[in-house]
Amino acid sequence: MDRQGRWPQKREGPAETDRLDLSRSVFRSLVASLKINIGSRVLDAGCGSGQLTQRLHAFGADVLGLDESAKTIRDASQAFPHVAFQVGQFPPIPLGHPDAEFEVIIVQGLSPYADNLFGRAAFQMTADLLCSLRPNGRFAFLNAIAPGHGREQDPPSHSIACYARHLSFFPGVCRVCHLPNGPTTGVVLSKILGQRSPAIWRLAVLKIPSERLSAEMWRQLAEQATAVSPKQCCDQRDSAAGSSDSPRAA
């Protein structure tokens, strides 16, 4: 994001729900995990072609899809004309407007998170998004591992521990979870039948406190996180060490 509040007009990779199909069971688990109800105000940040945005709209959520690519937003708006989409900028709705705050923010694919979750750009992006989250709201990274892959995938995924560690620098309660992707027997049967196993979907969620923080305070927290956090996250460490597949603790 530049000083005028604009995000770069390029994508570092597709939204997770463009790259891999989101099954009904995963969608139900996502909605339940984030306490999304009919009428809930939801921001789908890095929405890509709008697949998840459209499903949340059909579910009954009051959802806005946001993406860095103007072309992607044009295509999504044409595919789902009854769904609200917007080219990425902050704030997505001017602060002070009645619709400026969201109960849930879901992040799929935004360029500041692409390389290093512990860098200044990533922390500042989280702070800017948190400015639009209501007290007691939930901020979530939605992430998937492709069938038959660990973190060796295209585009690469960060370790779930790094997502959790990133969120832990902000006030609130952080948790991680895996979203069930159909019956557990499906993985075994798919191997017997020679089919690909279903994707593994993961959430790292921060529920922020009930006390309202100012935009200035969120950004100060981002600067503090940049100063004290590790300088590299999982993918950069793996590149330097020869790409280890072992999980890393938060």
* 26 has a pLDDT exceeding 70: yes
Predicted confidence at residue 158, as pLDDT, reads 84
Predicted confidence at residue 84, as pLDDT, reads 94
Residue at 129 is within a domain: yes
Residue at 200 is within a domain: yes
Residue at 35 is within a domain: yes
Instruction: Specify which of 4-13, 87-96, 122-131 reaches the highest per-range mean pLDDT.
Output: 122-131
Residue at 5 is within a domain: no
Number of domains in the chain: 1
Give the confidence band of 92 by pLDDT, cuts at 50, 70, 90.
low
Mean pLDDT is lowest, of 104-108, 138-142, 149-153, for 149-153
Residue found by looking up tokens 């939204």 in the block: 15
Residue at 8 is within a domain: no
What residue numbers bound the domain in which 169 lies?
Answer: 16-241
Residue at 140 is within a domain: yes
Rounded to an integer, the average pLDDT of 160-188 is 82
Q: Which CATH number is 215's domain given?
A: 3.40.50.150
Tokens standing for residue 26:
């995963």
**8 A C-beta contact, residue 23 and residue 112:** no
Strand order in the sheet with 173-179: 84-87, 62-67, 41-45, 102-107, 133-145, 200-207, 173-179
Residue found by looking up tokens 């099954």 in the block: 23
Give the confidence band of 76 by pLDDT, cuts at 50, 70, 90.
very high
Q: What share of the chain has pLDDT > 70, as a percent?
A: 70
Predicted confidence at residue 183, as pLDDT, reads 53
Residue at 250 is within a domain: no
Residue at 31 is within a domain: yes
**8 A C-beta contact, residue 67 and residue 83:** no
Give the confidence band of 17 by pLDDT, cuts at 50, 70, 90.
low
